[in-house]
Amino acid sequence: MSDVMKKLNETVSFINAQINAKATVGVILGSGLGNFIDEVVIEKEINYKDIPHFPVSTVKGHSGKLILGSINGKKIWIMSGRFHFYEGYTPQQVTYPIRVLKLLGVEKLLLSNAAGSVNPNYEVGDLIIIKDHVSFFSANPLIGPNVEELGPRFPDMSEAYSKDIIKLAKSIAEKHQIKVQEGVYVAVTGPTFETRAEYQLIKVIGGDVVGMSTAQENIIAVHCGIKVFAMSVVTDIGIREDDNVITHEEVLIAAKGAEPKFSLLFRELAEALS
Ligand code: HPA
């Protein structure tokens, strides 16, 4: 057995010993989007720092807990707080929890993030369903020996974001009259926000939003056969012509503003998929 699998088995045994539950949907909450859990019944939570082989989150706005929650009786795994490459973790550490979720029984993963927009039709606070991504500007987490037990050496990425889940999300959004748009997410390493030239480049290569997470998690999930849905909350506009200073505080405030509609949509989606 590979070292990775040994570690994963230790992590999963630890979690199973604390929480004996079957849940097939996982949710990862992005910056400023932690309130999703306010209307979820918390059955059990474990701090990341107590989980063997889990990295520990360091960023403001990320609380760092693995939660077993339930929504109208449907159980889901929630990661409140995630790991980013810019914090100094390797791409393998960033994505370690995705494989843990897989071994815990997760089949569908809902990812969320705060992102900058380069699409002139988007405004701060808009919800963007990620229909595809460009991850050339961030390291591929599958570089290195392939973990054969989990998936193939050369995974197909033609449906990196599940068309079925996108359809379902759009129908839930329509029912609640929540405006959603679809776009391409460009993943960067951060921690700098982009220069004006970089935002322009992201637009030229077909991007709509840009952020510092999600794509690596998506790749690891697709590799091991998890269906992925992802949503960005637009927190800043990257291509404004005027003085365009972007701060982390602004990002968190914008995410907070969009949180109610985001949370409603994610809760209903998680419940419907469970
Ligand atoms: N760029 C990259 N990551 C981000 C941004 C951005 O403009 N906003 C929130 N996360």
pLDDT digits (tens, 9 = 90+) for 55-97: 875 655 455 899 999 999 999 999 988 899 999 999 999 999 9
Relative to the CA of 193, which ligand 1 atom is closest? 1
Relative to the CA of 117, which ligand 1 atom is closest? 7
Nearest-CA residue for atom 9 of ligand 1: 115
Give the per-residue pLDDT at 273: 97
Q: What is the distance between the alpha carbons of residues 220 and 235, in angstroms, rounded to a whole number? A: 26
Would the pLDDT of 35 be above 90? no
Rounded (10°) CA dihedral 16, 20, 23, 24: 40
Q: How far is the CA of 187 from the centre of ligand 1 (A)?
A: 9
Sorting pLDDT into bands at 50, 70 and 90, what band is 241?
Answer: low
Q: What is the distance between the alpha carbons of residues 33 and 259, in angstroms, rounded to a whole number? A: 6
Query: Residues of the chain with pLDDT > 90: what percent?
Result: 78
- Both tokens assigned to 242: 């005027």
**In terms of CATH architecture, what is 3-273?**
3-Layer(aba) Sandwich (3.40)
> CB within 8 A of 110, min separation 6: which ones?
25, 26, 27, 28, 165, 228, 229, 230, 231, 266, 269, 270, 273
Q: Which of 59-73, 91-105, 167-181 has the lowest mean pLDDT?
A: 59-73
Which helix (H) or strand (E) segment is 14 a member of? Answer: helix 3-18
Which of 112, 200, 236 to probe ligand 1 with, by most ligand atoms within 8 A of CB?
236
Give the per-residue pLDDT at 251: 78
Report which of residues 165 and 63 the model is more confident about.
165
The domain ranges of the chain are 3-273
DSSP, res 38: G
